[in-house]
Amino acid sequence: MAAFGALELCLARASAEFMIDITQISRTGGDVLQPLLFAAILEANQALINQDLALQLTYGNLEASAPDELRRPVSVNAVAESLRLPFETVRRRIRAMARQGLCVVTPRGVYVPHAAVTSEAYNAIQLGRYERLIAFHDTACRLGAVAGPEPPAAALAGAVPIRAANRAIAEYVLRASDGLMALTGGVIPGVIYLELVRANLEPLDDDQLARPDLARRLTPIRALPLAQRLGLPRETTRRHLFALEDRGFCRRSRWGVTATAPQAAHPQIAILLSENLANVQRLFARLDQLGVRAHWVG
């Protein structure tokens, strides 16, 4: 791990914490897969909005959500491929989500309806993610990954575009997840590995994270508390940990499980760390376009 830059490592730890917290806020007591499916469907549905700054701002605050006719349906197969999940798993999950009113299945594909993203419960989720975004921004600024926001030239009018900020959060999480899935072999192994890294690094400060003997400073965690942190069954977690161990991404001892970085994967990990820095900067640049960060100063 000494070959990786200190800034990239510290930011990666902050990003892992951010992504896991966003998932936890979004799952509201369920498992980790449903919010990722929901986000992937919604992101695809809102492609037209995400490509148009005027539409992003029009449908940017909590009181304004895009009508169903602006939501482009996405095929179940496309959702499955985007998350590297079996088609049948995704189809079964989407049917269950449809019964809950979280999505609508049509001959043209699936979409998240206006009603599902304007409820009081969903608005509370959006507010929780927005507050976590501000904390992540503070960390990224402290690390020097991004510059602080410029004070607005004039007083800002109107509501904070919290809904637009949540779209930017979802875009970042899905983009970062894609690289993690490619590294670990899938969305669930990726989430487990992310939480494992987070748990192993929790007792360390940034200075310790940058030390060359980092691997010896990691704190192991047992499979059961790791599963509980993620809301996953213990056996599911154990099965994926065995697979990660076979690929060299963790090791077990009598004290618990510790994340590792196999030598063969170092070039790919270095690319992911560099891409994460660029993606974080892209996230906050997009928030500047939307005028979000200007609300955090002055």
Domain coverage including residue 206: 6-296
Spell out the residues 6+ positions from residue 263 whose beta carbon is closer than 8 angstroms to its own.
Answer: none
Cα–Cα dist 265/179, whole Å: 13
Query: 49, 70 in Cβ contact below 8 A?
Result: yes
* 81 in any annotated domain: yes
Count structural domains, the chain: 1
Cα–Cα dist 44/74, whole Å: 6
* 1 in any annotated domain: no
* 51 in any annotated domain: yes
* 89 in any annotated domain: yes
Per-residue tens of pLDDT for the chain, all 298 residues: 445 778 898 999 999 999 999 998 998 767 788 889 999 999 999 999 989 999 998 998 888 899 999 999 999 999 999 999 999 999 999 999 999 999 999 999 999 999 999 999 999 999 999 999 999 999 999 999 999 887 766 555 567 899 999 999 999 999 999 989 999 988 899 999 999 999 999 888 888 887 777 878 899 999 999 999 888 899 999 999 999 999 999 999 999 999 998 899 999 999 999 999 999 999 999 999 998 988 887 5
* 20 in any annotated domain: yes
